[in-house]
Structure 1
């Protein structure tokens, strides 16, 4: 069974230093920072969290705002390095954490498809191969030559989701992105995630919708103020969480 572990989170803690005072501007902040005149408060977003994710699992992370869910996902995705502990990941990761974060809003949608694909590690040939699928899934064909700065936030999210979900990654990280577009498009996104699961992808999923977590996940990590309160069967823990 050890060979089937695709993600191992081992006693992970994450500390952030928060400035305890306000500044009149960025210049003042830089000057006082260089002079080491800023006082910080320690904030532990994660505290000694450990769990294993097996290949093919669909793991939900639940908890109130500020419980550490997104920090945990960013740690697994390699965006953040834990203050203590280790995260081991086997396989390639497709993170759907901040949709559109890699876009250049002055460029057209078509240009951003190739740019965002490159940022995700895909070659131009791969993006050409998947271009039609991205356009069709995003439902933005008539806007491909329009600068993304003229898009609504929903259009940006739809394009970003279509790009990020090409192919079948070993691990798909989904953070609150099933709220993109209208209800019909949300269902379309959910179905694409299910198709990935059926083809063997491991899913890490964060949503404020407990029903979505129940529908998609077989296991759940329940975080509370950075501490893991429960880990186990999704339906059982979601029912308990719904009672609070």
Structure 2
């Protein structure tokens, strides 16, 4: 693929975690075993030889049952996790919506967190001041601006996070189940904004357990099962293969 037209390319990516193979009840026992080189770990491959390519402007839904490696893949694309083997190439700026509350301080108010989260995404104070009202209006949280984020529901936090992340048009928008906690009306509002961003050229990577939502928003799909790619291509074809496997 011409890299000028490529947004994301994963080549034989392996993400490895070490899991303790024995139960250690206290910190003292842990350090004793560590010093004696008696700690035993079991290797777990969250992603195993994952390869796929996303062209600029495409929308990919990443599907699979819990524990398939979907969120791990998104974190690797965002640079949060580094591959044990293989390579991930990202061509463009990323707006990540991976975990609810990421970039928020629970003890700060929503007003303060707007500027904090904006800084995390690389926006300066002046930019956030210029777009403050637009963020608040989209999130529909003007009456709760001076409430600490820790008192927000998951849906309210998702609204604010989405509003901040999509205030500018990123090259790549990454969404991991964050819309599932919002009410129906807000989900429709978010889908509309994502479609507008896609029309303007933004690439979308979207994780959801709702196959209907994936088929509505995306044109391609990647099916993961226990960290292995089971299928990649046209969203309707991959969705059918996935649903048939569940049946």
With the shorter chain as reference, the TM-score category is over 0.9
CA 1:30/1:191 → structure 2, altered by over 3 Å: closer, same or farther? farther
- Per the alignment, residue 176 of structure 1 pairs with 177
CA 1:21/1:187 → structure 2, altered by over 3 Å: closer, same or farther? same
Q: Distance in 1 between matches of 2:28 and 2:160?
A: 37
Post-superposition Cα deviations, 1:153-192, rounded to whole Å, max 9, x if no partner, equal 2212211121111110000011111113211111111111
Q: CA deviation at 1:29?
A: 3.3
Unaligned runs of 5+ in 2: none
Q: Which moved more, 1:83-92 or 1:124-133?
A: 124-133
| Structure 1 length-normalised TM | 0.95
- Per the alignment, residue 96 of structure 1 pairs with 97
CA 1:25/1:136 → structure 2, altered by over 3 Å: closer, same or farther? farther
Q: Distance in 1 between matches of 2:28 and 2:127?
A: 44
Q: Are the counterparts in 2 of residues 158 and 180 from structure 1 also a CA contact under 8 Å? A: no
Q: How many matched pairs?
A: 244
- Per the alignment, residue 188 of structure 2 pairs with 187
Q: Which moved more, 1:26-35 or 1:15-24?
A: 26-35
Q: Are the counterparts in 1 of residues 158 and 179 from structure 2 also a CA contact under 8 Å? A: no
Unaligned runs of 5+ in 1: none
- Per the alignment, residue 24 of structure 2 pairs with 23
- Per the alignment, residue 117 of structure 1 pairs with 118
Q: RMSD of the alignment, in Å?
A: 1.4
- Per the alignment, residue 204 of structure 1 pairs with 205
CA 1:239/1:117 → structure 2, altered by over 3 Å: closer, same or farther? same
Consecutive aligned runs of 4 or more in structure 1 exceeding 6 Å deviation: none
CA 1:33/1:119 → structure 2, altered by over 3 Å: closer, same or farther? farther
**What SS class does the counterpart of residue 229 from structure 2 fall into?**
strand
